[in-house]
Amino acid sequence: MVRGKTQMKRIENETSRQVTFSKRRNGLLKKAFELSVLCDAEVALIIFSTRGRLYEFSSSTSSINKTVERYQRKIKDVCVNNNGIHENTQILKDGDMSMTKRIEQLDNSRRKLLGDELDPCSIDELRQVENQLERSLEKIRARKYQIERQHYLRDEDLEVVAEKREEEVETELFIGRPEKQKR
């Protein structure tokens, strides 16, 4: 004979409910014991009946309290680590958002400096863009003047060196006895 699948809902008949509770409780306690023996696992099982009676099983030699304390420490550590991770994650998200905003601002500024998307700008924003462009242009011209001056000085130095070479006096080198001069 095949057993049918038990429907998972509250058993209405109190006597049947009590019998099922006792059988299943004993089966659950047996499974907890088997798990602890076969797998060398630390198992603690706490069951309260509807009448408030306590049933417990502990695989540890000391007591169920040691297992519950270990569980509470573990939960506390996990919560502390999760809070730390959550805080770090939040900091990274905030940093990411601020970097995204900064990139958008820089991109908008770049477009304005290139003369794009100026239609929605107010007169004050346009003045700021104009002033920024003028300051940039002054810096560019100063750097250009500096480079041109360096090239001019270098070219001038090369010309001076070339002129000195042309002005050098040629001398003859003679090795041997000096000749008598005719008078």
| Total structural domains within the chain | 3
Co-location of 75 and 109 in the same domain = yes
Q: Is residue 18 part of a domain?
A: yes
pLDDT band at 18 (very low <50, low <70, confident <90, very high): very high
Sign for the CA dihedral angle at 133, 138, 141, 147 comes to: negative
Q: What is the mean pLDDT of residues 99-124?
A: 86
Look up the domain containing 19 and give its range.
14-59
> In angstroms, rounded to a whole number, what is the distance separating the alpha carbons of residues 36 and 14?
33
Q: Is residue 138 part of a domain?
A: yes
75-84, 121-130, 139-148: segment of lowest average pLDDT: 75-84
Tell me what the pLDDT averaged over the chain comes to. 83
Chain centroid to Cα 56, Å, comes to 47
